[in-house]
Amino acid sequence: MSLFTSIRKTGLAVGVLLFAIVTLFAVPVAHAAAGDVKKGEAIYQKRCWWCHGKKGEADGPAAKFLIPPPRDFSLGVYKYKTSDPKVQIPRDEDLFREITTGMVGTGMPKWDDILSEQDRWDVVAYIKSLTDMFGKTPNPPQIDVSKKIKSSPESIEKGKQAFQTAKCYECHGQLGKGDLTKKLKEDSGARVWPRNFTKPWSFRGGYTAEDIFARVSNGIPNTPMPSFAADATSSGKLSVEDRWNVVNYVMSLAEPTSQVKDGQNVIKGLRRDALPKDENDAAWNEAPSTAFYLAPQIIQNDRFFTPTNDLVKVKALYNEQDIAFMIEWDDRTKSIPGDPTAETIAWDTLTPDQIAVQTPIVMSTGSEKPYFGHGDAGHAVSMMVWNSGTTTTPASGTMMDYTGTHKRTQTDPAAAGFSATGSYKDGTWKVMMKRKMVTANKDKDTQFEVGRFIPIAFANWDGSNGEAGSKHTLTVWNWLLLQPPTGKEVYLVPLLVLILLAGGQLVVANMLGKKRK
């Protein structure tokens, strides 16, 4: 009994402690609070000016390396407003929110971990003072979200139709991947790409239904995204009901496999007797996909800071002779030099899109690997590259070895049985690369081995984004594991343990029983 009493006491103490902790850290709901301009200025001049400029004119030292560019506070135009569409200015809560949560995929981080709520309101007060747009206008009312329509197959279908009638696809693409049909610019002239609806977590103004409704209704000021509110100052195009249907349609497009899972860095290569014929073969559908973040090449000159593509998804299948990779990535542009539409959409000189797969040539026994960027003098890497071609040269694949950046030697793709094919559809490239598991050229080609963790890395070029040569995106080393066919031991060992344990226990019970008598 005393045991239960002590447990009860401990439980009570733990409960009280947990309650105290939860109460202590409970976050109060944000309401527009009065900010102190002077205090806000002090924070701004320590933390914010590096991008936004000392006078808020978006000319800080980092500004020229950022796309989207930092907000110019002297203009008082804000992209993500939730005020009523009839009002030009944003709500104070909009400014507060962007400071609090940051804007994913941009240089603007979330500040709630080092700036208190009051600090953030002070900064809001200061940045509002940098423009006369706000004047003495009171904080505008929030957009009406009371007519929200719950998502349902009917609403999604209606939203899909509204998406067509309002011509959203012209910029966002038929499947919502942002594969635009015309070049888009911000009012400032800066490059801007439409959102990819299959990755809602990349929406900079949030991705709840209310957030998206505010975007559709208010548009994104300063960008080509117009307001679709029928009662807005711009020419209205969608009813409140249709806008909610569009919201539900957009939310239905989320693609979970396009999100990188924390800690998952292994491509799961499975064995198949027959490998897929090409990148569109249905056999790929059942192969598990692993997503990897891309980062721009900011490590060596010439450095590159303004990428468009954010991740690659990779699958692998193998059999006795060959290994096949399927590399898939969302790319808003099919970059084929010579193609008139592609030429008009591209920023900078249009070059082909490319994807490269890098693996070490010699597998080390320890954790040592070649340097992740092109290997190094002591550790060569093998590279398989696919290039989308131009209107005059067809798409093609090639293989080469590197022992460091620029230290390249061509290898014979035919000797490795290498082939690569690719196709672009609705904002996504799919490229299949195939080669022999093992080759005669042991010091020039990677030898793929079943059951071994093989380091693997990727590089990607978006030719419509000025990406060529050292200007590209890349992944660090990840893993490829070609899973061995399931052996008998997987069933035999547990069965053996089962029999031994059961038998052992029965013997012991028998012995103890005899003793007792």
Partner 1 sequence: MQFLKPIIGVLIAYLLIKIGVPFLGSLHHPGTWPVVPTAVMKMYLTFIIAGAFVACTFDEEGYNALITPVVDLYSNPAKAKLRLCAVTAVSLLGCWIAYQYVKPTFDAPVELRSVHPAPPSSVTMWNKSYPLQTLKNPFRAPDKAQLAKFTEEGGVIYYQNCFYCHGDKQDGKGHFAQAFNPMPANFVDVGTIAMLTESFVFWRVGSGGPGLPSEGTPWASAMPVWNTMLSEEEVWKAILFIYDQSGVQPRVTDVVAEKK
CA dist., res. 480 & res. 455, Å (int): 6
Q: Which of 221, 370, 422, 463 binds partner 1 (CB under 8 A)?
A: 370
Residue with tokens 């690997």: 369
Write out the H or E segment, with its range, that includes residue 219: none
134 near partner 1 (CB under 8 A): no
Q: Which region, judged by CB under 8 A, interacts with partner 1, from 178-186, 197-205, 286-294, 382-390? A: 286-294
Q: Report the DSSP beta bridge partners of residue 420.
A: 433
Rounded least distance, CB 56 to partner 1, Å: 16
Scan residues 470-499 and list those touching partner 1 (CB under 8 A): 474-477, 479, 481, 483-484, 486, 489-490, 493-498
Give the contact letters, 251-280, x = binds to partner 1 (CB under 8 A), - = no: ---------x----xx-x------------
Q: Which region, judged by CB under 8 A, interacts with partner 1, from 43-51, 347-355, 382-390, 426-434? A: 43-51
Q: Which long-range contacts (CB under 8 A, 24 or more apart) does 343-350 make?
A: 344/182, 344/183, 345/180, 345/181, 345/182, 345/183, 345/464, 346/183, 346/463, 346/464, 346/465, 347/183, 347/191, 347/464, 347/465, 347/466, 348/465, 348/466, 349/466, 349/468, 350/463, 350/464
Burial letters 319-328, b for 16+ CB under 10 A, else e? eeeebbbbbb
Q: Is 392 helix (H, G, I), strand (E, B) or coil?
A: coil
Rounded least distance, CB 13 to partner 1, Å: 13
3 near partner 1 (CB under 8 A): yes
Q: Which of 44, 73, 96, 111 binds partner 1 (CB under 8 A)?
A: 111
22 near partner 1 (CB under 8 A): no
5 near partner 1 (CB under 8 A): no
Q: Which of 141, 167, 293, 407 binds partner 1 (CB under 8 A)?
A: 293
CA dist., res. 386 & res. 190, Å (int): 30
Rounded least distance, CB 79 to partner 1, Å: 17
19 near partner 1 (CB under 8 A): no
179, 194, 171, 172: which is closest to 333 by C-alpha? 179
Q: Which of 39, 47, 191, 271 binds partner 1 (CB under 8 A)?
A: 47
Q: Which of 57, 87, 109, 191 binds partner 1 (CB under 8 A)?
A: 109
Number of residues that bind partner 1 (CB under 8 A): 69
Residue with tokens 């990677």: 446
Q: Strands 419-425, 428-436: parallel, antiparallel or unpaired by DSSP?
A: antiparallel
Give the contact letters, 48-87, x = binds to partner 1 (CB under 8 A), - = no: --xx--------xxx--x----------------------
Rounded least distance, CB 83 to partner 1, Å: 27
Q: Report the DSSP beta bridge partners of residue 465.
A: 347
107 near partner 1 (CB under 8 A): yes
13 near partner 1 (CB under 8 A): no
Q: Which region, judged by CB under 8 A, interacts with partner 1, from 84-92, 106-114, 186-194, 201-209? A: 106-114
Scan residues 320-339 and list those touching partner 1 (CB under 8 A): none
Scan residues 183-242 and list those touching partner 1 (CB under 8 A): none
363 near partner 1 (CB under 8 A): no
459, 452, 458: which is closest to 480 by C-alpha? 452
409 near partner 1 (CB under 8 A): no
Q: Which long-range contacts (CB under 8 A, 24 or more apart) does 254-262 make?
A: 254/197, 254/198, 254/199, 254/200, 255/198, 255/199, 257/289, 257/291, 257/313, 258/198, 258/199, 258/291, 258/311, 258/313, 258/330, 259/199, 259/201, 259/291, 260/291, 260/292, 260/293, 260/311, 261/291
Q: Which region, judged by CB under 8 A, interacts with partner 1, from 105-113, 124-132, 162-170, 339-347? A: 105-113
Please check whether residue 453 is in contact with residue 390, taking contact to mean a CB–CB distance below 8 angstroms.
Answer: no
Rounded least distance, CB 477 to partner 1, Å: 6
From first CA to last CA, the distance across the chain in angstroms is 33
Please check whether residue 114 is in contact with residue 46, taking contact to mean a CB–CB distance below 8 angstroms.
Answer: no
Q: Report the DSSP beta bridge partners of residue 401.
A: 382, 409
Question: Rule CB under 8 A: which residues touch partner 1?
Answer: 3, 7, 25, 46-47, 50-51, 60-62, 65, 105-109, 111, 113-114, 260, 265-266, 268, 292-296, 298-301, 305, 367-372, 376, 379, 453, 474-477, 479, 481, 483-484, 486, 489-490, 493-498, 501-502, 505-506, 508-509, 512-513, 515-516
